[in-house]
Amino acid sequence: MSESRGLCGCCAKFLISAAITALIIWISFRFTKPRYYLVAFSIPAPNSSAVTASFRLEIENRNRQVGIYHDDIALTLLAGPNLSSPVSHFIIPKFYQGHLKTAEKLGNFSAAKNLTGFAGDSVFRVSVESAYRFKVLGRKTSHHAVKASGTVEVDDGGEKTARKGIRLSSSGADVVRPLVTVVVLLYTLGLHI
């Protein structure tokens, strides 16, 4: 009878320690989507003949122990009555972003037509479309798609009117709970799949 109590005690201790380890791993490796901020945006002034709009995009990785591999990031500048007419496109090449890092990317939207017609209290929409993978314990997860956009108001001089960065947002949830969390948990517990 005492042997069964000892065996049950060992099993209970193992299950409690496994649960505590799983909780710690889950808290440590909760994945958060990257955040996109349009920090600077300007179009040419009305008296200029330039056909480019410049921008500065910041991408924030708030994950503590998880890096992010970004695929090519496609930015689109939209204007018009419903902010649905594409004016120009720009591609940011793929890159790796470390944990708790903010990447700053500069670029120019080159338009086929002169952008000065849009200057003067105009509203634009900048949209981002890409995919990314998380890097956890030296392994990459599957791709996660992102589509985000934000509205940018410009003044008479063609500068962004908002003082802070404009967060480009999507309608999706902010926390990603992929299958990889379970795989990492099982791997650390020694239960190889």
Determine the pLDDT at residue 64: 85
> Mutual orientation of helices 2-28 and 180-188 as an angle, nearest 10°?
140
Domain assignment present for 99: yes
Q: With 70 as the cut, is the pLDDT of residue 40 above it? A: yes
Measured from the Cβ of residue 22, the count of other Cβ atoms closer than 10 Å reads 16
Q: For a pLDDT cut of 90, what percent of the chain falls above it?
A: 45
pLDDT at position 188:
61
pLDDT band of 180, cuts 50, 70, 90: low
Residue 175 has pLDDT above 60, yes or no: no
Residue 141 lies in a domain: yes
Q: How far apart are CA 138 and CA 140, in angstroms?
A: 7
For residue 94, what is the DSSP state? Answer: P
Q: Is residue 164 part of a domain?
A: yes
Give the residue-averaged pLDDT of 124-150. 93
Tell me whether residue 95 is in a domain: yes
pLDDT category of residue 173 using cuts at 50, 70 and 90: very low
pLDDT, tens digit (0-9, with 9 covering 90-100), for 101-135: 999 999 999 876 666 566 555 889 999 999 999 99
At 4 the pLDDT is 59
In-domain check, residue 193: no
Q: Band the pLDDT of 3: cuts 50, 70, 90.
A: low
Query: What is the domain count for the chain?
Result: 1
DSSP conformation letters of the chain? -HHHHHHHHHHHHHHHHHHHHHHHHHHHT-EE--EEEEEEEE---TT----EEEEEEEEE---SS-EEEE-PEEEEEEESTTS-EEEEEEEEPPEEE-TT-EEEEEEEEE-SS-GGGG-SSEEEEEEEEEEEEEEETTEE---EEEEEEEEEEE-TTSBB--SSPEEEB-SS-SEE--THHHHHHHHHTT---
Is 9 among the domain residues? no
Q: Residue 39 belongs to a domain with what CATH number?
A: 2.60.40.10
DSSP state of 160: B
Both tokens of 13, joined, read 């201790």
Q: Which domain holds residue 60?
A: 32-188
Establish if 27 belongs to a structural domain.
Answer: no
Q: Is residue 119 part of a domain?
A: yes
- Mean of the per-residue pLDDT values of the chain: 83
